[in-house]
A and B are shown apart, each in its own frame.
Chain A
Amino acid sequence: MSEEGYMLLQIGPQHPGSGHMRMLVKLDGDVIVDFIPDVGYVHRTVEKIAETKLYIQNIPLLEKPILNDSGNANLAYIIAVEKLLDVEPPPRAQYLRTIMAELSRIASHLYGIGILSILIGSSTGFMWAFGDREIFIHLMQMMSGARITYSYMVPGGVRRDLPDQFREEFRKAARYMRRRYKDYEKIIIKNPVTRARLEGVGVLSREKAIEWGTVGPNLRASGVAYDVRKVEPYAAYEDIDFEIAVREEGDCYARLLVRFQEIMESLKIIEQALEKIPNGKILAEKYEKMIQPRAKKLVEGTGRIKFPAIYVNLKPPKGEVFSRVESGKGEITVYLVSNGSPKPYRLRFVTPSFRNLLTFKNLIPGHRLADFPAIYGSLDYFPPGADR
């Protein structure tokens, strides 16, 4: 009990409803009057370490904070490095990147939906979403060879070409997911329990969302049609026709619906990308010709890039760049300063969860404690991302 007669409650870090953080809530009865997130439990000093690593070594490093959406984290960094180096990947690579980014987005959304479901006590939702996530992980594994940490994109292109069976497998996955969506609708979306727990809870108004700099589906669920894929098209998004999922309500339920809608939209994007994908190289000419002649045969035979030696010693010219991409959780921005040495001088990596932290902090007060997990889950907050 604090002086004013409020009760102080500590949640986490060892708690199913907290993830990797501690939260201090001040309660009046069961209404939250004040909320202090105590973050930093996963602060692994990524920005400092990045200054001690070579540009190529930072690719896997920067995936780690956003591990459940690593395709997009990878892309944000690579776009920044490419802007510095002034290389343009060939069109086929751009399409492959788009496919990767979208698959990663679907996996990330399913992860978020699963966590939200378990937080509001629906084990079915968790099991279904995580089970279906495995399908998309399988597809990404086909493309890159890894389950979670893809490191698929490299400066100037991508690491591997599309495997032969990919189209077939994806068609199956898309068909399955569409059919599955109907089940989700019945069991989770229209479930009276889900609606009772989420509808009208944690309402984030449009003005506040803008003021607090909210990102991603949380922003779009509050009626702001902002999506980096449309605003500043990167990869192959310019040639692809898709819609931004926007809702006006701004409550937890709207955020859930936006995620589902984006999954369906992503399936369409990948289908289009697979249709339009041009033939050709997957690595920029500049680096392609530096591959050793002996390795070249291998590259042509297997569609797998053997890195040219230059990658160890990438030295971008002096300068600074800023890149942004739309990941599953929201906008990732990278601010990269180079002083001409093989290591970044400064790398600022702002993750969507870190930007949503302020929203989270300000949104909670005024709600009942029982609504706390629902709001937390609906923001798709990922502590390793926020803490970096």
Chain B
Amino acid sequence: MELKERIETIVGSTGEVRIDRGNIVVEVKEPKKIIEIAKKLKAEGFDHVKSVSGVDYSDQGYFEIVYHVSSYSTPELAKAILVLKVKVPSDNPRSPSLIEIWPSVEMMERETYEMYGIIFEGHPELKRLFLPEEFEGVYPLRKSFKIKEEGIMA
């Protein structure tokens, strides 16, 4: 696939590129490098972020931040979904914010901060978004935050 090769040259040695169910997955090795890669991707034509998600793998000692990036302005890129992944340690989750490059991440990064406590460095307004005050310092989407479950099945 041509696009994959193009992205491989962009990412270079800072990450790994593979194809998973039709989407191009870029695993960035170090959080610091993500800004650089994002800048180049933006120049390539990826102009907005569809979703920012955190995934809790704290049993393995890290959180994963997943950006789904795509394009509105370039029709052939619009077909592709680029999955940008970065791992941060779960005891000190910090990653640079991509708001400078893609302003569309603003609310989603804020939500990820609120739900996982991942600090996006450089985000201008990193506060709670949905939850009331009593959730200050409690991060409900972490696996360590338990809620009641139905006991039908394992």
Contacts and interface: CB of A to CB of B under 8 A. Distances in A.
Contact of B107 (A209, A319, A357): A357
A335 B131 contact: no
Interface of A: 39-40, 43, 45, 47-49, 52-54, 83, 209-213, 219, 224, 226, 231-232, 312-313, 319-322, 324, 331, 333, 335, 337, 342, 345-346, 348, 350, 354-355, 357-358, 387
A211 B130 contact: no
A346 B53 contact: yes
B50 A333 contact: yes
A231 B79 contact: yes
B51 A335 contact: yes
A83 B21 contact: yes
A226 B130 contact: no
Contact of B81 (A322, A346, A348): A322
Interface of B: 20-21, 23, 47-51, 53, 55-56, 66, 68, 72-73, 75, 78-79, 81, 83, 102-104, 106-108, 115, 128-132, 140-141, 145, 147-150, 152-154
B51 A312 contact: no
Question: How would you classify the secondary structure of chain A's contact residues: helix, strand, loop or mixed?
Answer: mixed
A47 B132 contact: no
A43 to B, nearest CB: 4
Nearest to A387: B130
B130 A212 contact: no
A48 B48 contact: no
A213 B53 contact: no
B149 A45 contact: no
Contact of A358 (B66, B106, B152): B106
Nearest to B111: A354
B103 A348 contact: no
Contacts of B49: 213
A337 B148 CA distance: 21
Given A52-B150, A321-B21, A346-B55, A354 B107 contact: yes
A54 B153 contact: yes
8 contacts: A52-B147, A54-B152, A213-B103, A324-B81, A335-B53, A342-B153, A350-B108, A358-B104
Contact of B23 (A211, A322, A358): A322
A52 B50 contact: no
A67 to B, nearest CB: 18
B140 A211 contact: no
Given A322-B68, A335-B51, A354-B107, 6 more contacts: A40-B128, A322-B83, A333-B50, A346-B56, A355-B104, A387-B130
A354 B53 CA distance: 13
Given A211-B104, A358-B104, A52 B83 contact: no
Given A219-B72, A358-B104, A40 B66 contact: no
A48 B135 CA distance: 15
B72 A210 contact: yes
A39 B73 CA distance: 30
B153 A313 contact: yes
B68 A333 contact: yes
Contacts of B154: 342
Contacts of A211: 47-48, 103-104
Contacts of A226: 72, 78
